[in-house]
C-alpha cells in the first residue's frame, strides 16, 4: 500500500511537477508577506488579481482580465496607463503601455556606429522615431547578443539568450521568438533580450518557479514587449523610481492583457520610454544612458 501511494505521488509529481512547485512557491510568497496583487480599473477601483492568475501557465482569449483605457495618440497608435500594487506595500507602480498597429508603423532598431550611449529620447530623435524604448542588455563595449539594424547584423547572436525581438522584412511587423539560436537570416531589425516570458499564450515555467540563476520575485524597473491576440505590438515600461514589478508579476500582467508572445528587454536603470506624436508626449526617463533603442516610425 505504501509503495503504491509512493508510486502515485511520484507519477503526480512527474506530471504536474512544475505546476506544484509554482503553487507552493506562490503560496509561500503570500505567506511571508508577498501580499495581494491588484490593478486599478479605469473607474478607479482596485481589483485583485486572484492567486490562480498568478500561477497561470496557459493564457487564452477568455483570460483577459486587465482592460486598460486606451487613448488614441495617432492612427494605429494608442497609449494607456495601468497602476499595479502588491499589498501590504501601498505604493502603486505605473505601467506605461503603447499599442502599435504594425500595418501603419514600421519598427526600427537603432544604435550609433560606435555604440556610444545616450538617452532613449536622444537616440529616438537621431533615428527619426516618434516612439522608442531601451533595447538589449549591454556592457561597457556595447550591447550583448544579436543586434540587427536596417538589415545589417551589427552584433553576434548569443547562444544563451532565447528571447528575440525580430522584424523579418522592412514591410513586416515584429515577432517575438523565444528559442535559442533562432534563425536570423532575412531579418531587417532585431535584438536579443531576457528573459523569454511567453510563447503562444504559454508562460515559461521558470517565471513561476525560479531556479534559472535570477530572482523571479524581486521587484525592479522593467521594459517588455508582446504581440497581443489582435496582432498588435505592445511596449511596456514601468514609470517608477523606487519600486517596480517582479518577473513573475510581469508574466501575469502580460497574460492578463491578452499577450500571446512576450519577452523582457533590459530593465533596471536602463528602463525608459519616449513618445512624441501629434499632441501626445510621454517620457519615462531612464536612470542610465543606453546604446540601442527600438521604436516606430510611420510607414
Cell 531556479 appears where? Answer: 211
Q: What pLDDT score was predicted for residue 13?
A: 45
Burial of 43 (0-12, 13-18, 19+ CB in 10 A): exposed
The whole-angstrom separation of Cα 21 and Cα 29 is 12
The whole-angstrom separation of Cα 55 and Cα 251 is 10
- Cα angle: 273, vertex 258, 226; to 5 degrees: 40
Is the CB of residue 86 less than 8 Å from the CB of residue 57? no
The whole-angstrom separation of Cα 15 and Cα 5 is 15
Q: Per-residue pLDDT for the chain (299 aa), expressed as one digit of tens each?
A: 555 555 544 445 445 555 565 556 656 655 555 679 999 999 999 999 999 999 999 999 889 999 999 999 999 999 999 999 999 889 999 999 999 999 999 999 999 999 999 999 999 999 999 999 999 999 999 999 999 999 999 999 999 889 999 999 877 899 999 999 999 989 999 999 999 999 999 999 999 988 777 899 999 999 999 999 999 999 999 999 888 999 999 999 999 999 999 999 999 999 999 999 999 999 999 999 999 999 999 99
Domain ranges of the chain: 37-298
Is the CB of residue 214 less than 8 Å from the CB of residue 195? yes
Output Rg (C-alpha) for the chain, integer angstroms. 19
Amino acid at each position: 500500500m505504501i509503495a503504491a501511494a509512493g508510486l502515485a505521488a511520484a507519477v503526480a509529481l512527474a506530471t504536474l511537477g512544475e505546476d506544484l512547485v509554482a503553487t507552493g512557491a506562490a503560496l509561500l510568497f503570500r505567506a511571508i508577506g508577498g501580499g495581494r496583487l491588484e490593478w486599478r480599473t479605469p473607474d478607479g477601483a482596485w481589483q485583485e488579481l486572484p492567486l490562480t492568475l498568478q500561477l497561470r501557465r496557459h493564457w487564452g482569449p477568455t483570460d483577459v482580465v486587465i482592460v486598460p483605457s486606451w487613448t488614441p495618440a495617432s492612427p494605429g497608435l494608442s497609449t494607456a496607463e495601468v497602476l499595479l500594487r502588491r499589498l501590504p506595500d501601498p505604493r502603486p507602480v505605473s505601467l506605461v503601455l503603447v499599442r502599435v498597429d504594425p500595418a501603419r508603423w514600421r519598427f526600427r532598431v537603432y544604435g550609433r556606429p560606435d555604440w556610444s550611449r545616450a538617452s532613449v529620447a536622444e537616440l529616438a530623435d537621431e533615428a527619426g522615431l516618434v516612439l522608442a524604448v531601451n533595447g538589449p542588455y549591454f556592457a561597457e563595449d556595447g550591447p550583448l547578443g544579436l543586434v540587427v539594424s536596417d538589415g545589417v547584423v551589427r552584433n553576434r547572436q548569443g547562444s544563451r539568450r532565447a528571447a528575440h525581438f525580430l522584424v523579418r522584412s522592412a514591410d513586416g511587423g515584429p515577432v517575438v521568438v523565444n528559442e535559442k539560436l533562432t534563425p536570423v537570416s532575412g531579418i531587417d531589425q532585431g535584438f536579443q533580450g531576457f528573459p523569454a516570458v511567453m510563447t503562444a499564450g504559454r508562460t515559461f515555467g521558470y517565471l513561476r518557479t525560479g531556479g534559472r540563476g535570477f530572482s523571479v520575485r524581486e521587484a525592479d524597473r522593467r521594459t517588455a514587449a508582446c504581440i497581443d491576440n489582435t496582432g498588435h505590438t505592445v511596449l511596456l515600461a514601468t514609470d517608477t523610481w523606487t519600486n517596480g514589478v517582479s518577473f513573475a508579476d510581469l508574466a501575469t500582467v502580460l497574460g492578463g492583457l491578452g499577450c500571446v508572445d512576450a519577452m523582457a528587454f533590459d530593465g533596471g536603470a536602463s528602463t525608459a520610454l519616449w513618445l512624441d506624436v501629434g499632441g501626445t508626449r510621454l517620457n519615462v526617463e531612464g536612470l542610465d544612458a543606453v546604446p540601442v533603442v527600438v521604436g516606430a516610425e510611420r510607414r
